[in-house]
Structure 1
Amino acid sequence: MRFSLYTEMQLHEGKTPEQLYGEVLEQIQNADRLGYDCYASVEHFFFPKFSISTNPTALFAAAAQRTQRIRFRTMLHALPYHNPTVLASAIAATDILTGGRYEWGVGRGHGWIPEKAGVPLDEHARPRYEEAVDLLFAALGNERFSYSGKYYEVADSHIVPFPQHKFRIFLGGTSDRTYELAAEHGWGVAVPPLLPYKALEQQLDLYRDRCAEHGNEPDIVWIHACHLDPDRETALREARDWVTKFIYGNSSPLLEYEKPAADDLNKAGYGFYAAGIMEQLAEVPFEQLVDEDYVWVGTPDDIVERIEETRQICPGISEIGITVNAGGAPHWMAIKNQELFASEVMPRVPEVVPVGAAKAA
């Protein structure tokens, strides 16, 4: 079982971008000392309460100079806002600058980004994205490549520097096709960090079934916001403010800005964002978020129990990732959570049960 930290780099009132980036770099350095396997960050644009992590490769190149062993992961590169061949070159360069410690994934990004970036929300969004995925991997997998598609035409090209090893790859999102695509290629999936298992149960079942069809092992990264204290009441009291703001921050692009038209979202395959789910989530009381497993808050014993419950119902989890610095959480609180999770939870989580054995059980 691997353990990681995940950040959205939400910028709430009371912090400057410079302060937040400085805190995150210190948190990465501390995570390396504590033995976490990976530090992951979203790539996101335009909406500060959701994220100011607009260039995670630069963040990781800086963090690599302060650390020894921890790996870094962009989760995920928002592919519609990159030329696939140029992104391939940036990935290869980031791998060099991190000493071979770079992992990454790709996704379409959130449905509220396209209009702000001047990218059309139309029926071409999904096929254009899938073609971009094909071109990206053609560039990363071949020292010289050509590509002929509906949206991209590339003749006898190559990227420099060319990567010298294979990467661990992830997809993430809420659509069925995302999970099918990951299973077909043997890639991992990262579960969005603010949803209980029941919200994505069908997609994860689909992913495991498709993995079996294609002879691939599921590789699921389970991410949750997490707050710990040896005293349960203290944990609940401390977590209330930042967890509530974390949920709100994820919903803020739909609550504080003009929403994209529902027809346009549905046409482009972003129906999740037209369904009102995110807006409703922001109204869920804190106590319900804890009780219904949207977030993990409690003592180390409580968190270990939550992790084991999740692994029982979701075979294929290979990594537990926690978010501890969202919603404007104070720096000291994020460090405290990193320390307690590493010392009191990580040693008590057993190794991964093979998928076949879990299904048999």
Structure 2
Amino acid sequence: MRFAYFTHVWGRENLTVRQRYEELWKELEAADRLGFDYAFSVEHHCTPEESWMPSPTVFCTGAALRTERIRVGPMGWVPPLQHPLHIVEQAATLDQLLGGRLEVGLASGVSDQPFRPFGADFADRKERTRECADLLRTAFTSKGAFDFDGPVHRLRDVTLSFGSEQSPHPPLWIPTTDRATLRYLARTGGHTCSTMIVPRAALGVVYRHYVDWWRKEGQPGVPNIGYWSLVHVAETDAEAEARAAGQATRTFVETLRYGAVRRSTDRPAPASGLSTADILAGCRDFRFLMDHNLIFVGSPRTVADRLAEAAREGHFNTLFGEFVFGDITGDEAIGSMELFARGVMPRLAAFSPYQPLETAEPSVAVS
């Protein structure tokens, strides 16, 4: 299993933007030092109450200056908001700055809210996102000038100033549960991810198909499949829950606005059990989140066990853990990351949700 430090770079009233970014660089340095595999950030626009990260290029540049080994990337750039050639050039530059450590996430978007200020077309977002991935592969695998014919953009006789450090190109991710997009990713060797608001039983079904398609396409190994959620680790379950309970529900309800959804009592339950609406509505209840294993809070042993159980159900092999949320910040958040690195990561390093259950037990015991 792989582990990503993930951040929305949530703002806080008592900090300036510069102060929040200084904290961010310390978090990145800690993730690098502690052995996390990845560091990812979002591209969010015009959300003062939520994310303060409108440019993942800034995130990646800061990481290039502050880290040595961790792989870094946007999760992701939103291609419909700009010309895809801009993303190609930024990716080439960042991969060079990072010495070949760039991961390229391309997010089509789930809401039209960030599209409206730019006058961008929300309806064709998936088409434009795939086009950007195709252009990136074309540009980085071409020797010299290239042409490109996409569904939206047509380029002729384009020569990049320089290409990527990685050959043929940095790894590509598109967050999705859409079957057509997953078939496209399996065919092209791209990775994917989702979040805790999508029922894991449903994720397990579609991602099992994705892994099967990947293998049928003759791709090596298995794809990386990420799963985002909040994480807090303390020495004991009681200590972790006492710290995280109010901060987790506050993050979901006040920051992400998930709690605005109410459960419907006049419809049958889906075959998978929970629906996304159920999860969104339940985000205001810490016990609901814990009982359904939607966040990972507890001692190192508890978090490792809960994470393995969730990965088996959701068929994911990479945790996108958000350790900085609510008032869990600074040294407290980094302390949680340290306990996670020391007590969870070694236990699950050899774990894979694709192994038979009887052979998938963690290989390292944690006291």
Please state which band the TM-score falls in when normalised by the shorter chain: 0.7 to 0.9
Aligned letter for 1:173?
Answer: T
Partner of 2:330: 331
Partner of 2:157: 156
Partner of 1:340: 339
Aligned letter for 2:223?
Answer: P
Aligned letter for 2:204?
Answer: E
Q: Cα 1:69–1:276, aligned 2, differ >3 Å: closer, same or farther? A: closer
Deviations 1:125-167 (A, max 9, x none): 4334333332232222213211224421111112222124231
Aligned letter for 2:118?
Answer: A
Helix, strand or coil for the counterpart of 1:4?
Answer: strand
Mapped partners of 2:258, 2:343: distance in 1? 36
Q: CA deviation at 1:46?
A: 1.5
Mapped partners of 2:278, 2:88: distance in 1? 32
Between the two proteins, the alignment pairs up a number of residues equal to 341
Mapped partners of 2:308, 2:279: distance in 1? 30
* Greater Cα shift, 100-109 or 347-356: 347-356
Q: Cα 1:290–1:195, aligned 2, differ >3 Å: closer, same or farther? A: farther
Q: CA deviation at 1:360?
A: 10
Partner of 1:176: 179
Partner of 2:193: 190
1:248-327 alignment, distance < 5 Å: 248=253, 251-252=256-257, 277=277, 280-281=280-281, 283-315=283-315, 317=317, 319-327=318-326
Deviations 1:106-128 (A, max 9, x none): 12123122123211333x34334
Helix, strand or coil for the counterpart of 2:5?
Answer: strand
Deviations 1:205-224 (A, max 9, x none): 33223223322323212332
Helix, strand or coil for the counterpart of 1:77?
Answer: coil
Aligned letter for 2:93?
Answer: A
Partner of 2:114: 113
Partner of 1:232: 237
Helix, strand or coil for the counterpart of 2:99?
Answer: coil
Q: CA deviation at 1:67?
A: 2.2
Partner of 2:216: 213
Partner of 1:89: 89
Mapped partners of 1:340, 1:311: distance in 2? 20
Aligned letter for 1:162?
Answer: G
Q: Cα 1:86–1:215, aligned 2, differ >3 Å: closer, same or farther? A: same
Partner of 1:26: 26
Helix, strand or coil for the counterpart of 2:69?
Answer: coil
Q: Cα 1:164–1:70, aligned 2, differ >3 Å: closer, same or farther? A: closer
* Greater Cα shift, 329-338 or 286-295: 329-338
Mapped partners of 1:226, 1:316: distance in 2? 16
Q: CA deviation at 1:41?
A: 0.9
Q: CA RMSD in A?
A: 2.8
Contact 2:233-2:240 within 8 A present in 1 as well: yes
More helix by share: 1
Contact 2:248-2:325 within 8 A present in 1 as well: yes
Partner of 1:167: 170
Partner of 2:265: none
Contact 2:5-2:40 within 8 A present in 1 as well: yes
Mapped partners of 2:258, 2:243: distance in 1? 26
Partner of 2:246: 241
Q: CA deviation at 1:187?
A: 1.3
Mapped partners of 1:188, 1:121: distance in 2? 23
Contact 1:15-1:328 within 8 A present in 2 as well: no
Q: CA deviation at 1:6?
A: 0.6
Mapped partners of 1:224, 1:99: distance in 2? 29
Q: Cα 1:350–1:25, aligned 2, differ >3 Å: closer, same or farther? A: closer
Deviations 1:312-338 (A, max 9, x none): 334461x33311012353222211111
Contact 1:70-1:101 within 8 A present in 2 as well: yes
Deviations 1:281-325 (A, max 9, x none): 4654111011112101111111111122133334461x3331101
Aligned letter for 1:203?
Answer: V
Unpaired stretches in structure 2, ≥5 consecutive residues: 261-274, 361-367
Contact 1:12-1:48 within 8 A present in 2 as well: no
Unpaired stretches in structure 1, ≥5 consecutive residues: 256-274
Q: CA deviation at 1:233?
A: 1.6
